Amino acid sequence: MNRKLIIAVDGYSSCGKSTFAKAIARELNYFYVDSGAMYRAVTLYCIRKGYINGQNLREEEISRSMDDIHIRFRYNPDIKEYETYLNGENIEDEIRQFEVSSFVSVISKIKAVRQRLVEIQREIGMMKGIVMDGRDIGTVVFPDADIKIFMTASEEVRAERRYKELQEKGVRVEFKDVLSNIAERDMIDSGREISPLRQAEDAYVLDNTNMTVSQQMDWFREILNSKAGK
């Protein structure tokens, strides 16, 4: 397929959206955008500034700060992946820490945060040839995306994946806390008033509970070939 596409990958927390979206981007030589990393970057900024106190947020300060937050993705040839930069600083590792995960869903509920990041995401999408993953890409950011995918998996499997990821990074955390965090994020993401997590009507649904990345890519190729045939 010669025409450049916009591919939206939405789904629940820790269901492998980023891994899958990166694999698609590599195969098609597309630009990959981790929208979740953008919300994590804002969350990290708010933590550093002291705008988060428990579950209490200083929303006015956060909203006013959005113009001071600049997020970019830069390709690292050493690892062959894009990394997240906040105001010129590489924060890729820091935004994956459990503290950021604990607050990212509540930060994502703030209207000014979502409005600004959606603006940035749409600007990126103007060049096409991108794969973007997140919670509202196919429903809000790119409702006319060429291919929409909605991913899901069981809570236990998602928690196990996230737990192993944290363990590999040396983060000490209990599995029960990870599982609880997954359930809480699902509730917040699906229940928020602004851009809630939901499946687009024309999305292809992928339950990858018992699938490898290779099997997921076989599934995607069938969709892509079908799209090309049309």
Label residues 133-142 b or e (16+ Cβ within 10 Å = b).
bbbbbbbbbb
Q: What number is the average pLDDT over the span 106-117? A: 92
**Residue 95 carries which side chain, given as an amino acid letter?**
I
Percent of the chain with pLDDT over 70: 98
Domains of the chain, each with CATH number or no CATH = 6-225 (3.40.50.300)
**Residue 211 carries which side chain, given as an amino acid letter?**
M
Return the pLDDT at 165. 85
CA-based radius of gyration for the chain: 17
pTM attached to this predicted model: 0.84
- Contact between residue 33 and residue 74 where contact means Cβ atoms under 8 Å apart: no
Mean pLDDT, all residues of the chain: 92
Give the distance from CA 58 to its chain's centroid.
24
DSSP letter, residue 178: H
Return the pLDDT at 52. 92
Return the pLDDT at 230. 59
Q: What are the pLDDT digits (tens) for 164-194?
A: 988 888 888 999 999 999 999 888 888 888 7
Calpha distance 199→46 (Å, rounded):
29
Given a cut of 90, whether residue 87 has pLDDT beyond it is: yes
* pLDDT band per the 50, 70, 90 thresholds, residue 67: very high
3-state secondary structure of 72: strand
What does the CA dihedral 205, 146, 142, 19 come to, rounded to 10 degrees?
50
* pLDDT band per the 50, 70, 90 thresholds, residue 80: confident
| 3-state SS record for 22-68 | HHHHHHHCCEEEEHHHHHHHHHHHHHHHCCEECCEECHHHHHHHHHH
